[in-house]
Amino acid sequence: MENIEDIRIRPCTNSKYVQPFRVLYKQNGKESLWDCVKMHDSLGILVYNKTRNAFVIVKQFRPPVYMSKNRGMWKNSEVFPNSLSQKSSSSNPDTEPSSKKQKIDSTAGAPEKEGEASAAQTWGPSHEGCTYELCAGLVDKDLPLELIAKEEILEETGYDVPAESLEKISWHHSSIGTAGTKMYLFYCEVTDEMLINSGGGNKTEGESIEVVYVPLEKSLETVFDDALSKSSSLCFGFLWFDKYKRHLLNNT
């Protein structure tokens, strides 16, 4: 389990990953507005290991998922005075004393800031923020999608996959209510002989990724297991394979 602690919430400024903006427009003659977020497009790869008859996926801690599951701990934070109609503060959050910092584990105490949580509330265990996902990455390089996908597979799972072996599944819009970005989905097959390192993500970018093998016969069970936190693209990938690829395996 990831050791997550010392949680603090700050306004998001000068991010290289997300940039919020507001769109003003007229729809059917009526003035409207919508708050959006500028983000990179992304891609995901469904990796099937023929040697093990299993899918190669990844597991990692996702702060947004963790914060969503622990909304009661921070929903009244002074960082959100406008959207949540909470009182604002003139204090500088970056100068918050260390005694105010919040620690997370299964027995962590409630935040000390007034209004953030009741005394009875505590942060949940860190595994609440861990999700099962396809190998994936941002489309933030001026390269063909297949080459970006190849890099992500090697970086996250340790498999060296020829770019020409990647099969495009489809693309769809993700985060349609905020970003509307595109996510491109690919499929590839690997063998144990193609595994050249342990994967785990880009350590220089702070990634901490666990490689997980899901047996083929457990894939649909995984999709419908509500106890598992998983990405929608993972579910789509497993269902796509079941419809379009599984019968081909049975014929070989």
The 10s digit of each residue's pLDDT in 99-117 is 444 444 433 333 444 334 4
| pTM, entire model | 0.83
Instruction: Round to whole Å and give the CA distance between 210 and 234.
Output: 15
* pLDDT at position 252: 58
Query: By the 8 A CB rule, do 36 and 21 touch?
Result: yes
* pLDDT at position 186: 99
Pairing mode, if any, of strands 135-138 and 167-174? unpaired
3-state helix, strand, coil in the chain (%, to 5): 25, 30, 45
- Tokens 């708050």 identify what position? 35
The 10s digit of each residue's pLDDT in 171-211 is 999 999 999 999 999 999 999 999 999 999 888 888 899 99
* pLDDT at position 155: 97
Backbone torsions φ then ψ of 56, nearest 5 degrees: -105, 110
% pLDDT > 90, the chain? 68
Residues contacting residue 14 through CB under 8 Å, at least 6 positions apart? none
Whether 97 shows a pLDDT value over 70: the answer reads no
- The residue type found at 170 is S
Whether 90 shows a pLDDT value over 60: the answer reads no
* pLDDT at position 2: 77
Query: By the 8 A CB rule, do 221 and 230 touch?
Result: no
The CATH code belonging to domain 40-66+127-250 is 3.90.79.10
* pLDDT at position 82: 66
> DSSP string spanning 167-193?
EEEEEEEESTTTT-EEEEEEEEEE-GG
More confident residue, 82 or 146: 146
* pLDDT at position 111: 41
* pLDDT at position 249: 84
* pLDDT at position 40: 98
Closest to 23 in 3D by CA, of 39, 36, 40, 37: 36
Whether 22 shows a pLDDT value over 90: the answer reads yes
Neighbours of 233 (CB within 10 A): 21
Instruction: Round to whole Å and give the CA distance between 187 and 183.
Output: 13
